[in-house]
Structure 1
Amino acid sequence: MYKRIYEDFIKEHFKENRQMLFITGPRQAGKTTTTWFLKDSLPFFYFSWDNIEQRELILKGPNELAKAVELGHFGKKIPYLIFDEIHKYKDWKTFLKGLYDSFPNQAHIIVTGSAKLDFFKKGGDSLMGRYFLLRLHPFSLAELVKPTLRNKELNFKPKKLKEKDFENLFNFGGFPDPYIKANSKFYNKWKKLRFYQLFNEDLRDLSKIQEVEQLELLAELIRSQAGQLVTFDSLSKKVRVASNTIRKWLKALQALYYIFEVRPYFKNISRSLLKEPKYYLWDWSLCNDVGIKAENFIASHLLKAIQFWTDYGFGTYNLHFLRDKNKREVDFLITKDQKPWILLEVKKKSDKLSNNLEYFQKQLNAKYVFQIVVDAPYVNENCFIDSKTRIVPA
């Protein structure tokens, strides 16, 4: 059993806060498994909307559920209540609001879901102020090396991951089952099943999209050009649906955790929203081209980092790319509280420094500038010691 960094996050959250914790993330990334460690220490109740008996109890309302778990009984420890996939219930927000407001400080409430919970904004009472968000990701290099919380964003003391473990992570992806098994036959079957579940079961629960085959075609087009600039009109012609439909379907693919969006950086935010974005896969192992896979691998790690730092409360972090009118481009820019912070260019193998890094650094004055070489050997060195432009291993 691999310890997840999110276990310490959950413990610390309820030690310091009374708000519910909403844990979202891709199907099979380990959301449910991550919460099960809580069974060892405190009263623990798990309710899955997909379980008929447990669903019936939820439908009876907050008061009946509170009776069933004996909330508020004198002398009892505060229990953990886990609600899995409850967003499939049309009145899920009303139910949680009623439970949270009617039984204050009597339960640690965790909600898990394999679709973005902010996608379900239709109707119901607002939960504003009643929950904090934790976006759970598959395994990454840093989590495999040291799955513990830090009091700063950056790790100034790097540790080496075994070469075989790195290869397995790169080739099989970070989803727990295929990574741990590291078996091609299992991986191929797992990949096929996950695709079916995403585009049949999860899509049906998430939206009213009927054109599943065309949506699958869109997903395949994005997979084959991960990390490239997206032109909505071009995709519209290939998939044979309206450009606005393409935009809507891309949002659905994001809500399903099939892809994530990276937007260009502009100081004027409205300009950034108008320009074409790039899309990357949550599962980088699906990229066939090694160079594209390397860039997607780093993109996924950066997304995990910025979302964790934001959810943990270090600040507000965003991931962008840079491109100017002369088509000079840098793969990634991390902003911290809306200010340029870390510039990164990704190469599969190259020790020649990108001229574009130097150019954009003069424009933005980011604190850190790196060219990441995925195939470079491990170096036991603090790369955050100063603001020099550095070539570093992944």
Structure 2
Amino acid sequence: MRQLTPYIKKDLQKKMVFLGGPRQCGKTTLAKSLLVNSFNGVYLNWDRLSDRKKILTGQWTDQEELLVFDEVHKHKKWKNLVKGFYDTEKEIHRFLITGSARLETYQRGGDSLLGRYHSWRLHPFSLYDLPQGVSRQESLSRLLRVGGFPEVFLDNDEREARRWREERSRRIVREDIRDLEQLQNIDLLELMLDHLRDRVGSTLSISSIAQEVGISPITAKKWINILEKMYLIFTVKGYDKKLTRAVHKPIKVYFYDNAEVRGDESVRFENFVATHLLQRNHFMEDYHGYRMGLFYVKDKNQREVDFLITQENAPQELIEVKLKDETPAKNLISFAEILKTKQATQIVLHSPKSWSKGKFKLTTPLDYFTTLK
């Protein structure tokens, strides 16, 4: 059972539930497990023509308590369609809407569903959310080598993972993005995505990558936004509040699939930490309702800390990522005083133990990424 399952089950008692997340991260499996273990109902996938007809015409019975609509956001007026079903049949049915794009961004049709749904985001397997039968130490190794997507994580075969990843990437770009965004230059979009795999953790110049790919900076910015909406990448901005000599504008790019990242062990580990921090932020937003932020910190003196977590716009925790260095990072301590964060954390991959002193904490990933609550 996935970590979000009981929360989604509870929310279905009150409202519709939107469940977004990367393609093949386990949304369909979670939805079908609810149909097997908790609700009588039906699963309908918009990509299947026979199911599409059933969705458009409302072909289900009153005995089917839970209606799961998968990928229905590909319909031009999907929100009006779902709103109509919910408003007229909410006393009879529960509705779970799943999709491999950010559902809240595809508001075609003009009619709002505000107040009618709760939203959740499912991530691939992580140290927060692991299948039974795999130890945490082994899971850490797999997450760094083959990534957390269920199929490749459970197979644990690097060659098969590379094949799976190539097929998944091409399907998202050439089918999902093409259908939703109607782009013409798919080949150039794939080229830009490939360039981004080499730039994880580095500040990204939009104009520079646009020049390399052969597109305008405006197009590059638009395409990065599309890749974010499709849960392929996410961006981290530089934090400039309360810093008199902050660096403005540059972003950093990370991948939801840790194994997409090119580079040495340190780059892949930084991406691993970024995905876990994002997952925690999403949980805090989706369950607790807090506004969370994920930033990096860098000033004009080139002093930098990898990540800053904010809650309701207030700095909460600074996080530095290291492979082996257990000496407290000077920049981490310095920025913790400037920003007055509650905690300054150094996550070290190859550290024998965790320890803390005052607001400073040195920790291993196994000790730090434990539970979401």
> So what's the TM-score if we normalise by structure 2?
0.91
Match of 1:391 in 2: 362
Distance in 1 (alpha carbons) for counterparts of 2:282 and 2:94: 23
1:163 to partner: Cα distance: 2.5
Q: Which runs of structure 2 are paired with 1:72-83 in the superposition (5 Å)?
A: 79-83=65-69
Matched AA of 2:145: N
Give yes or no for contact 2:247–2:300 (8 Å, CA) kept in 1: no
Give yes or no for contact 2:293–2:309 (8 Å, CA) kept in 1: yes
Flag structure 2 segments of 5+ consecutive residues without an equivalent: 366-373
The one-character-per-residue Cα deviations of 1:230-257 (angstroms, maximum 9, x if unpaired) are 1111112111111100100101111121
State the secondary structure of the residue aligned to 2:101: coil
Name the stretch that deviates more: 367-376 or 119-128: 119-128
State the secondary structure of the residue aligned to 2:128: helix
1:195 to partner: Cα distance: 1.5
Distance in 1 (alpha carbons) for counterparts of 2:276 and 2:269: 11
State the secondary structure of the residue aligned to 1:275: coil
Match of 1:373 in 2: 348
The one-character-per-residue Cα deviations of 1:122-176 (angstroms, maximum 9, x if unpaired) are 3331111111110110011122289xxxxxxxxxxxxx94422221121111100
Distance in 2 (alpha carbons) for counterparts of 1:284 and 1:262: 16
Match of 2:291 in 1: 316
Distance in 1 (alpha carbons) for counterparts of 2:162 and 2:195: 20
1:42 to partner: Cα distance: 2.1
Distance in 2 (alpha carbons) for counterparts of 1:304 and 1:89: 28
* Aligned residue among 114, 118, 125 for 1:139: 125
1:268 to partner: Cα distance: 7.9
Q: Which runs of structure 2 are paired with 1:349-360 in the superposition (5 Å)?
A: 349-360=324-335
Give yes or no for contact 2:12–2:95 (8 Å, CA) kept in 1: no
Matched AA of 1:392: T
Q: Which runs of structure 2 are paired with 1:1-394 in the superposition (5 Å)?
A: 3-15=1-13, 18-38=14-34, 39-60=36-57, 64-65=58-59, 68-70=60-62, 79-144=65-130, 161-267=135-241, 275-289=249-263, 290-377=265-352, 379=354, 387-394=358-365
State the secondary structure of the residue aligned to 1:110: strand
Give yes or no for contact 1:369–1:387 (8 Å, CA) kept in 2: no
> So what's the TM-score if we normalise by structure 1?
0.87
Give yes or no for contact 2:345–2:362 (8 Å, CA) kept in 1: yes
State the secondary structure of the residue aligned to 1:133: strand
Give yes or no for contact 1:141–1:161 (8 Å, CA) kept in 2: no
State the secondary structure of the residue aligned to 2:362: strand
Flag structure 1 segments of 5+ consecutive residues without an equivalent: 71-75, 147-159
Distance in 2 (alpha carbons) for counterparts of 1:267 and 1:308: 24
Matched AA of 2:113: L
State the secondary structure of the residue aligned to 2:129: helix
Superposition CA RMSD, Å: 2.3
Give yes or no for contact 2:18–2:119 (8 Å, CA) kept in 1: yes
